[in-house]
A and B are shown apart, each in its own frame.
Chain A
Amino acid sequence: MQTQLKNWQKMTPVGRMFHYLGIFILKRKLGQFIALFFRTVASLFDSSHNFKSDSRNIILQTFFTGVEIFVPLFIVATLFGTVVIINVITLMGKMGFSDIVGNLMVVVIIRELSPILTAFLIAGRTGSSLTTYIGSMVINSEVDALATMGINPIRYLVMPSVIGGTIATIIMNIIFSASAIGAGFLVTKCAIYIIGIFPNLQMIIGNAPNLQISWNYLSTEIIKALTVSDFVFTIIKPLVFGIIITINACYQAMNIKRDIRQVPKATSRSVITSFLYIVFADVVLSLLNFISYMKNLSTII
């Protein structure tokens, strides 16, 4: 009698190696996280789909993630922009480097501060609300009901949130950079003007009102310092962060084990792990800056 071969016995040694690697990865949380991402991408090519409901969900998610977060994001951006501009200007007074102003502004605001802070704000708001929303659906077995109706929950719930959230993150990142520099400059000017009104304050602050900072100077310096890689990173960083936030939120929600008390736990876990993953991803993306640095180095030598 011929014994039935199991799946792994049918494979070639190389195939078996990949098979065990796959099992190893899928048992890890990070592996399942990445698997959910790939399933989301795969769900874009599902045979059963409804463009109308998908596009509506995507627009709703973009609106929710982007528009409703605008006010807190604008305030945070303006204040952080002010802080950075004041620090850079005072630093210039000490060191006397006038060239470095534009470079510092670009590196601090456009490259680092803006994507990270936007991602943190969106993780705190959209990530947590997504986890609660999908988590409650899992507990009420609405996700099961969707699946038994032949509607892929990954396509219906996860995919629109990922796409909408990512689009909103990219747009909000650009708005953050713009308002940090523009509104930050205005607030700095106002601060300098207010200090100028009260002469008594000058005793403490010194000759700060004498700082001559003009929009002309600041904008030309920043535009001079901008490179192509900065423009690329303004798109790539929020793209990666947006995907991380939304996929992580959905992953944490889908894993809730039918216990209502797990929802708040999953929500906090989703936000904290999002922060962690974002910082890790930021480090990895920052390493790419070395490439341009090395290129410059070879031209100098």
Chain B
Amino acid sequence: MLDEALKLEDVYLSTSELSGTQFSIPRAVSYFENIRASESNEDFQLIAGANLTLKLGETICIGGPSGKGKSAILRMIAGLARPLKGHIYYFGEYIPAERLTALEVAKRQVGYVLQNAALISNLRVVDNIALPLRYHKMGTNEEITKKVNMAMDLMRVRDFAKMFPHELSVGMQKRVAIARSWAMDPKLLLMDEPTAGLDNYNRRNLLPLIDNMRTMFKTSIIIVTHDLMIAKELDCNLVFLHKKKLTEPHSFDYWLRSDNEISKDQFRDLQSNEKF
């Protein structure tokens, strides 16, 4: 039994892959072979030669300055953008770039919480959470109702069950999106800025939930965030996107105490606080 949930091997990603959906423009098989990612148009390279290994049940936070492609990495892992070069292994299984679609990835129980919750706007909150469960017929009606209620209770959105997404605030939409992903029992959960737009109370409620998923359901989690304190509170490793590459994972304290460029950029406030 392999113990790795996700492995990125020397992955290259171009900005042009991020526009549009992949459902209209089919790509011929040779498209990915003809590009020499390492040589061609460096300006468009968002990520060049990233490596990452995530063990089962492990949690990793990806940090870094904004606009450097953190969300793009998550989109690529979720199958919404395709790498120009490199290998991505899901639970030890390699999917070649031409077959790497979001549907193929979703079959392997990978959940994704988008940055702007992306709830289906003509469905109520309950139906939004129940949509994937009903579509894939994951259990009987009672089981689905029970599961949806549980998810709503966990994220404290039960009171807004009959509302439409446009009636909710951004933070509440985000909680519904997390509930929707949670209800599908993902083995690997990708979260894009889960705490952005949440108040302190709900943030404090969210973190134990993530911790529970990690310990009870053995879910592997990747969190992209600017809120680096999450890494400390969840006691997980931090990875930074630096110079188009992912650094080695290290603990929060390591980054805080180390004396390299990233630490100086990202932890200046915290370091200066500690001296006092």
Contact = CB atoms under 8 A, between A and B. Distances in A.
Interface of A: 6-8, 19, 22-23, 26-27, 32, 35-36, 39, 48, 50, 53, 137-138, 140-154, 156, 251, 254-258
B26 A32 contact: yes
B29 interface: yes
A258 B28 contact: no
Interface string B107-118: 100111010101
Interface residues on B, range: 35 or more
Contact of A142 (B33, B118, B134, B184): B118
A144 B19 contact: no
B26 A39 contact: yes
Given A7-B33, A256-B20, A258-B19, A149 B106 contact: yes
Contacts of B135: 48, 50, 53, 149-151, 156
A147 B24 contact: no
Q: Which 4 A-B residue pairings sit nearest by Cβ, starting from the closest?
A: A254-B24, A150-B106, A147-B102, A145-B118
Main secondary structure of the interface of A (DSSP, over half): helix
Given A19-B28, A39-B23, 18 more contacts: A6-B33, A7-B29, A7-B30, A19-B30, A23-B30, A26-B28, A53-B134, A142-B121, A144-B21, A145-B120, A147-B79, A149-B180, A150-B106, A150-B107, A151-B135, A254-B20, A258-B19, A258-B20
Given A7-B33, A148-B102, A153 B23 contact: yes
Nearest to A38: B26
The CB with the most chain A CB atoms within 10 A, among B23, B27, B28, B135, is that of: B23
A148 B131 CA distance: 12
Interface in B77-133: 78-80, 101-103, 105-107, 110-112, 114, 116, 118-121, 131-132
Given A147-B102, A150-B107, A8 B131 contact: no
B79 A148 contact: yes
Contact of A144 (B26, B28, B102): B102
Contact of B26 (A35, A50, A138, A145): A35
A154 B23 CA distance: 7
A151 B134 CA distance: 11
A32 B28 contact: no
B20 A148 contact: no
B112 A8 contact: no
Contact of A26 (B21, B26, B131, B184): B26
Nearest to A25: B28
Interface string B125-148: 000000110111100000000000
Main secondary structure of the interface of B (DSSP, over half): loop
B106 to A, nearest CB: 4
A138 B22 CA distance: 11
B216 interface: no
Contacts of A36: 24
Nearest to B133: A149
B45 to A, nearest CB: 20
A50 B131 CA distance: 11
Contacts of A156: 135
Given A50-B135, A140-B118, A141-B114, A148 B106 contact: yes
7 contacts: A26-B27, A32-B26, A48-B136, A50-B134, A50-B136, A137-B121, A138-B20
B19 A150 contact: no
B1 interface: no
Contacts of A6: 30, 33
Nearest to A35: B26
B33 A148 contact: no
Contacts of A150: 103, 106-107, 132, 135-136
Contacts of A256: 20
B2 interface: no
A153 B79 CA distance: 14
Nearest to A253: B24
Contacts of B78: 148
Contacts of A146: 120
The CB with the most chain A CB atoms within 10 A, among B33, B106, B111, B112, is that of: B106
Contacts of A152: 103
A6 B33 CA distance: 7
The CB with the most chain B CB atoms within 10 A, among A53, A142, A152, A256, is that of: A142
B102 A257 contact: no
A266 B29 CA distance: 28
Contacts of A154: 23
B183 to A, nearest CB: 10
Nearest to A153: B23
Contacts of B20: 138, 254-258
B78 to A, nearest CB: 5
Contacts of A251: 24
